[in-house]
Amino acid sequence: MLEFEPTISQRRRFGLFLLSAYRELRNVYPGGFESFLVATCAAMGNRHTGKPVNVSSIAAMTGIPRPTVIRKLHLLEEIGLASRSETRHGTMVSMSAESWDHVRPHVARLLELETELHTVSEN
């Protein structure tokens, strides 16, 4: 919940971001926005820890049911953006370096919007 009311301009920019991101992501990721969320969580987790990410963790972070995460991962594997391995800790996901290249511009745009909103809330 925001501690302040976003301006009309901020709402418009965020809405335009969502629409453009959705259109772009449907072209890049089979399975659309949910596949993007799965790829983003896995790619960010891989970059942060240097290790594969657990499927259950992705489900918990995104709110996407675990079976759906697994289906989305199958789609990402088919296009070469993800690989899975079974370990004693469960199904682990590794994203290809190319996957981060797909995710990065969208994450950067979200961070810009978040920074702008945070700056406004402090003033």
Domain boundaries along the sequence of the chain: 16-122
CATH class of 16-122: mainly alpha
**pLDDT class of 52 with cuts at 50, 70, 90:** confident
pLDDT over 80 at 61, yes or no: yes
Please answer whether residues 119 and 45 qualify as being in contact, where contact means their C-beta atoms are separated by less than 8 angstroms. no
For 72-102, how does the pLDDT look when each residue is reduced to its tens digit (9 = 90+)?
A: 999 988 988 888 888 887 888 888 877 777 7
pTM of the model: 0.67
